[in-house]
Each structure stands twice: as C-alpha cells, then as structure tokens.
Structure 1
Amino acid sequence: MEFTPTQKRAALWIAFALLAVFLLRALGPVITPFAIAAVLAYVLTPLVDRLCEMAGGKFPRWLAAAVVELLLFVVLALLVLLVVPVLYKELPLMREQLPGMFDKLDAWARPWLRELGIYVALDLASLKAQAVGWLNANYSDAVSSLFSSLRLGGSVAAVVIFNLILTPVALYYLLLDWDKVTHRVLELVPPRARPGVDSFTHEADAVLGQYLRGQLLVMVTMAVYYSTGLALFGLDLALPIGVFTGLAMFVPYVGFGIGLILALLAGFLQFASAKALVMVAVVYGSGQVVEGFFLTPRLVGERIGLHPLAVIFALLAFAQLFGFVGVLVALPASAVLLVAIRRLRAGYMGSNLYQG
C-alpha cells in the first residue's frame, strides 16, 4: 500500500507532535520557566509595543520591557498581599474561637443525629484538644521543620529558587526580542507551507486575543461581584477575599475553590453561626450561576468555542501532562488546538476519503 503525499505529511506532523509531547514531559522541569516566560511574553508584548510607540517611537524597548515586567511583579505582589492579611487575621481568631465552635457543634450535632436515629460517638473533646494544641504549637518548631525539610529535599528547593530567578530573566529577554524570536521560528517553515502556517497563526492569535480579553472582563466583573456580595453580608474581609476570588479565576475552579474556602473560614470566625453558610451559599452560588451561564459563555466560551465538558477535560489532561503549569495554559492551548481541529475537520470533510 502506497501513501499519498498528503498522508505522508499528516503522518509526519503527527510524529512531530508526539515527539514534542514526549520532550515536554521528559524535560518538564527545565522547560517550565521558559514556558511560563513565553506565555507571559505573548500576553505582555502588545503592552510593550504600545509603550515603544509613545513619544513618537522614541521610547526604548529595553525600558518598555523593564517597566512592563515591573508592573507584572507589582500586580502579583498585590495578589499575595490580598491573601496574607486574611491568614494573618484569621489564624489567631481560629485559635481563640475554635474551642467554642467545637462546643456549639457538639450541642447541635448530637440531638440532631439522635432524631435521625443515628448514634455516633463523637470524641469532640479529643478533637478540640488536638486542634487547639496544633494551633498553639511553637512556631519555631514549624520553622525548624520547614528548614529540615528543605535540607532533606535540597534539590527541590534548588529547582524552585532556580525557576524563580530564571523566569523573570527569560521573560525580559523574550519581551525584548519577541518579534525576532517568532520570526526565527517561522523561518524554519518550508516556503510552500508558509501561507497555511501564516493563516493558522493569525487565526490562533485572534482566538487567543479574544479569550484573554474575555477572561479579563470576567475576572474584573466577578471580583466586583464577590466583594460587593460579601460586603452586603457584613464580612470584614469582603474586599480582599472578593478581589482575590475574582482575579484567581484565571486558574479555572482552583481560584474559585480557594476563595470559597477563605470566605467560609472568615465567615465562621466572624459570625460563629449558620450565617456564614448562608453567605457563602448565596454569594458564591449565585456567582457561579452568573459566571457559568452568562459571563463566561458570552465573553469567553463563545469566543473560543469550547464546550464546558471540553474545558474540564482540557484542565485534567494538561494537569496530568504538565502539572500546575498545565492548568494555567490549558484553556489558551486548547483554543489553539481547537483551531487546528477545525482545519483538520474541514480538510477531511472536503477530501476524497470522506466523499467516497
């Protein structure tokens, strides 16, 4: 059986894709900082270009790249500072109020379980003692344990520190020479294949741009929504928790889950009643409805054409293949893959193989 040139090219591209996936998995720890830097450079390059166009095009690119990267670090630092005050305030409150919360749980749970005919021996006194003992533990022990674990896993700590140093450096040079890098990569494409590749990259770039703009609108809108909703219930930490939940939605499901846990914890410690459950159920439940059925389908989903099941599958698949970095790039990468699948489908539908 002899293969046609089209089939040979398709087989070659499939082999190349499989080889790329294998190399990405094998060299994951080495590629991670460069992959993160490349994704950030793709997002931030238009902003660098805008700055370079200021002052009649006399704004130097090296300075524009440095300013944009500095702004990125400021935004990331602000996100961290949104969470730190929450933990700093809630941990002492938890240590003080936990014994009373266990007593209330005991007084509420036992009669309710008896009415249902369930007799469970809950050793809440022991649980309370263990929890209070853990919260009252000497923090120096925790610090020494941390340093001990770092010594035992020195290679892991070295990799983390290496990535933290290398990623900003790689990002700066990619922002500085993004056009040159992309031009050098596209030069490797054979001249006869360049029209198709150029068409694909332009379509993928348009889809990614629509995704990023839509996702940014969703994040900002939901940050305002959650902050307002929690504030209406009287939560003291409504602003930091609401803003963090909205902005962390860039990582689907993970950001929302962390924000929900923080809101539930803060609500229980402040109200010490079922009001915390009502607050979280109303604010986060309605927020999921607004975001899932209105904002995301119109601002993100319709723009990239991904079905909700496809989103879940993409998150799980990329997380399995590439870890946490895979979760971050799952939806943008899926959008690019969707463009490729559309083109493959159109080619198959118009081929003799389909038409018989």
Structure 2
Amino acid sequence: LSKASASGLALLAWLVNLLLIPVVSFYLLRDWDLLVARLRGLLPRTREGLVVKLASECHEVLGAFLRGQLLVMLALGVMYAVGLMLIGLELGLLIGLLAGLASIVPYLGVVVGIGAALTAGLFQFGSDFYPLLAIAAVFTLGQMLEGMLLTPWLVGDRIGLHPVAVIFAIMAGGQLFGFTGVLLALPVAAVIMVLVRHAHDLYKLSDLYGEPPSVSDEPINPA
C-alpha cells in the first residue's frame, strides 16, 4: 500500500506539473515584455548597454540553436522513415517520424525508434534475422550521421561553433553532468562563446594588449 500510494502521488504530481506547463507558458508569453522591462530597469545605468548587448547576442545564438535542432530532427525523421520503408516495415513512416521528433533529446530518438521498430519488426517478420539487422543498421547510420555531420553542420554553424567544438562540448557535457549535460551542452557552449568573444574584444582594447611606445615616440624632456 505504501509503494502504491507513493507511486500514485508521484504520478499525480507529474500530471499536475504537466498541466502547469501551458498555464505558466501563457502568462510568461503575455507578460514577457513587462518582465524584461522590469529587469532592465534594475540594471546599473552605466552597464545597461553592455548587459543588453550580451543578452541580445545570447538570445540570437539560442534561437539559432533551436532552429538548427529542429532541422536535425526533421532530417533524422525523414532518414529513419525512408530507411524503414525501404526495408518494408509497415509502420516505418510513423516510427521514423516519431524517432525524429524524439531526437530533440539527445539519444532518446534512437532509443525510442529502434525499440519500437524492432518490436514492430518482430511481429511483422517473425524470426527472420536480416530485416531486424537492417533496422538496427538504419538507426546506427542515423546516429553516426547525427553526431558527425548533422549536429556539427546544422547546429554548430548556426551558433558559430566549429564542428570539433560541438563534438567536444557534447562529450564534455556527458562526462561531467550525464544526460542533463548532453541536453544542455550546446546551448551553454553557445552562451559561453558569446562571453568569450566579448572578453576577447575587451582584451584587444586593453592596455595589456597594446604595444609599448617606442623610444622615438617618447616625449623629449627639455634640459
């Protein structure tokens, strides 16, 4: 009874949180401009322009990341659907598109897709080994293309990160923070890139970077 009640309360809390998402989203969208204006009014007047500029650049790269991620999802959905339909899987179109949509979370798309596709393949092809092997090959190829081609090009180019930096950010995020790190690696890397770029510009304008005056440029003191 205690386990059942705990599970029931956890399910109820999850449903409540799920119902709160559209409510909170509605009020955030309605009052977003007011919230931004209030936060901007709290900024120090001497630093307002700089903070607003950095926030605008972060907003642009995060928007570019979301657009690039949507393109990756679309490409993977088409790739999975075409591959599964070529194999002859009857639910190939539906499973491929669902796997592409689930790819918004790294590795979730391939896990959901290959699980659903293999289950459908077992019912359709029975004990025939080669169609099941072909299904696994489709998702393996899609995962390789996502990690080495789609994400670095479609996401990395849009947020200004080199493809090697994209791969390194995802690997580092996974090693440091696990699944959450993989999910947040690229947005965090994009924001860090904006801050590093601004720090680089400040360094180029600083006296530390500037060359010391030459002997001929030094003023001559009259005797």
SS at match of 1:307: helix
CA distance in 1, matches of 2:201, 2:177: 26
Correspondent of 1:331 among 177, 186, 193: 186
Q: Which amino acid aligns with 2:59?
A: D
Is it true that 1:342 corresponds to 2:197 in the alignment? yes
Q: Which residue of 1 aligns with 2:22?
A: 168
Aligned counterparts, 1:1-356, within 5 A:
149-153=3-7, 156-271=10-125, 272-304=127-159, 305=161, 306-315=165-174, 317=176, 319=178, 328-348=183-203, 351=206
Structure 2, unmatched stretches of 5+, are 212-223
| TM-score, normalised with respect to structure 2 | 0.78
SS at match of 1:191: coil
- What's the CA shift string for 1:59-95, capped at 9, x where partnerless? xxxxxxxxxxxxxxxxxxxxxxxxxxxxxxxxxxxxx
1:300 is displaced (CA, Å) by: 0.6
> CA contact under 8 A between 2:87 and 2:131: conserved in structure 1?
no
Give the alignment's Cα RMSD to 1 decimal: 2.8
Secondary structure of the corresponding residue to residue 338 of structure 1: helix
Instruction: From the superposition, tell whether residues 191 and 177 of structure 1 become closer, same or farther in structure 2 (CA, over 3 Å).
Output: same
Whole-angstrom CA distance in 1 between matches of 2:41 and 2:128: 64
Task: Supply the distance in 1 between the matched residues of 2:170 and 2:200 (Cα, whole angstroms).
Answer: 20
Unpaired segments of 5 or more residues in structure 1? 1-146
- Distance, in Å, in 2 between the alignment partners of 1:173 and 1:317 is 34
Q: 1:302 to 1:184 in 2, by over 3 A?
A: same
Deviation at 1:204, TM superposition (A): 1.1
Change (3 A) 1:279 1:353: same
The number of equivalent residue pairs is 206
Distance 1:294 1:330 in 2: 17
Within 1, Cα distance between the matches of 2:200 and 2:4? 50
Q: C-alpha distance in 2, partners of 1:254/1:355? A: 50
Contact 2:89 2:124 in 1 (8 A): yes
* 1:152 to 1:216, Cα distance in 2 relative to 1, 3 A: closer
Question: How much identity, in percent, do the aligned residues show?
Answer: 41
Shift of 1:205: 1.6
Contact residue 61 and residue 158 of structure 2 kept, 8 A: yes
Counterpart for residue 31 of structure 1 = none
1:261 maps to a residue whose letter is G
Q: Which amino acid in the other structure matches residue 211 of structure 1? A: F
- From the two aligned structures, give the one with the greater helix fraction: 1
What residue in structure 1 maps to residue 215 of structure 2?
A: none
Counterpart for residue 214 of structure 2 = none
- Which amino acid letter does the alignment assign opposite residue 233 of structure 1? I
